[in-house]
Amino acid sequence: MRAKHLRQGLRGTRALAFIGLLTLLLAACGPAAEATATPSPPAATAAPTSVAEATATPSTPGVTAPTATPTAAPTAVPTKPAVAQPQRGGTLKVHLRADPASWDPGKTPGSARDVRKMHNTVFQQVANLQAFPDSACSMAPVPDTAEKWDWINDTTLRVTLKKGITFAKKPPVNGREMTSDDLVFSAKYWIQYSARYEALLTELTDVVAVDRYAVDFKFKVPQPGFINGVLTPHYGSVILAKESAGAKGDWTDPNEGSWIGSGPFMYKEYRPGTRASFVRNPDYWKPGLPYVDGIDFLVIPDVSTRAAAMIGGKLDVWTDELGEPVALMLKERPGMQVYQCPSPTGSLRIFPRNDKPPFNDVRVRRALSMAIDRDGMIQGPLSGRGMWMAFWTEVQPDRYSREEVPPELQKYLQYNPSEAKKLLAEAGYPNGLAVTLNYTRQYGTPFNELAESVSAMAKQAGFDVKVNYQAYALYQATSTVGKYDEDGVIAKPGHYDPYFELSNFHSRAIPNPNRGYISDTALDKLVDDFMAATDTGKTRDIWRTLERRMIDQAYLVTFPNFMWFASAGPQVHDFYYNAYIHYYPASFGEKVWMAK
């Protein structure tokens, strides 16, 4: 029965995937494939040289190739053979899925990954996400423009900038030094325009310059998640020079000269539908960097065209929407580098409306959880390479593994359609329950395949699930404020940072962005305690208690996690894949070099 419902749910998807893969294979057999016949050797790894590299604590190391069996966690990156010293010159070619909808760092939606790539070549952040050879999948924040940060008391975070950081030598900034005034101005700009920070900034009372390089962020209550959630590069928390604002007082038009940052590259031009070009900052404050002359971001919406461009050497780096079939195909090309990391956001999760019938009844929520065949998803849409997830992704070190989930809770995470039907009947739905699953195709592979598999498997458990595909803007509005029908649910990915994510489950977050309208005083206390805890042992204990409650009450339904992939051509050296590379690490491209 399991195989039957998976075949039914995935038949159309696999047909489309086969057509796409066939197109890719045909492209691979063409003349363009000759470009990779004699690849340069891969880049050498080096011991960390900076304070940040030496002191950072990696979490999960990276992997260079997919495995043939289900993977619980990635393995170490193999040591690469030694090569010559980095060479200067060349233009790194990176793809864009589409033209940017917005250019302003503070106003750009967090999901707009394409413009984030460009932000992080020109502008820099307080913190970076660790992306070093021995910890390519790490989510540990490390200093970028910051020299250090310290909690000087429970409610005051002091960030001290490095001395000697300069903006690019372009008017009106003209290469002046970055100071605390720039960080204060930028922080207030993010806060003003970034509703996505609301949960983490609710308790922020002030941002104050202490001296030329130090800034205090003051809170009403302890906020240990502020660094991960706000100061890292996945959202637009870049440091801006106030005088570089455009005519409208913002950074929406880079052609006005407003895109002047402290990063390794400078904006050159943008040709809609074609490319955005950036050139080397000759006065970059890190001596000798970057190595390449520039970066061209090429607008290539079509996956097949992207694959052909990678094989033909017309594209050097590909990260977004590089699904597993394409990654495996590229891996077979001589010299092609393929990387993988567990999705740091986790997989899709289904959020039901917990405040209204039918999902205000825990029996209905538990039935929905038991209607999801997680093992079947791993073997079907995820081709055997998925990772079972009770509640949180591998990035959260205190998460429950499958074996650690208490026995009394295991049943709510196991596929049991007959028991699910019994629970529905007890809750007053002996003839089953119709459910609308609100979703968007924006997230691509394998999110879409997972969402599409739900209807067939849940049908065996008495749920008649119809997938309602929405335009992305409508979907975002729907998921943010819970505006979906009472018999409906919504499928959303998670967030790698537990402080950011857990704030969404607190009753004070209703209606935005508590997608499930969860209101549970016991859960509220656990979230509050977790947010304020600084002792790692205490944090772990709170986390485990909180996770047990989430599973027991089935406030959301998790799917298995999976790998994200990236690829770099054989001519690319010292490109390190970070699990959150969809937004790119800060200072992206500064150490990459191209073999001639």
> For 40-75, how does the pLDDT look when each residue is reduced to its tens digit (9 = 90+)?
333 333 322 222 222 232 232 222 222 223 333 443
pTM for the model: 0.74
Can you give the pLDDT at residue 43?
A: 32
**Where along the chain do its domains lie?**
344-558
> How many CA atoms lie within 13 Å of 539's alpha carbon, on the beta-carbon side?
15
**Residue whose C-alpha is closest to residue 71's, from 382, 347, 332, 374:** 382
Can you give the pLDDT at residue 61?
A: 26
For 406-426, give one letter per residue: b (16+ CB within 10 A) or e.
Answer: eeebeebbebbbebbbbbbee
Cβ atoms within 10 Å of 64's Cβ, excluding its own: 18
Can you give the pLDDT at residue 73?
A: 41
Q: What are phi and psi of 445, to 5 degrees?
A: -75, 140
CA separation (Å) from 221 to 157, 196, 214, 284, 306? 11, 19, 21, 38, 48
Q: How big is the CA angle at 585 (ends 312 and 579), to the nearest 5 degrees? A: 75
Can you give the pLDDT at residue 509?
A: 81
CATH topology of domain 344-558: Dipeptide-binding Protein; domain 3 (3.10.105)
CA distance 268 to 248: 20
Low-confidence ranges of the chain (pLDDT < 50): 1-82, 132-133
CA distance 56 to 54: 6
pLDDT in tens, 315-342: 999 987 777 889 889 999 999 998 887 7
Tokens of residue 516, six digits: 């499930």
CA separation (Å) from 532 to 129, 514, 525? 23, 20, 11
Can you give the pLDDT at residue 560?
A: 93
3 state DSSP class of 141: strand
For 476-499, give one letter per residue: b (16+ CB within 10 A) or e.
Answer: bebbbebebeeebbbbbbbbbbbb
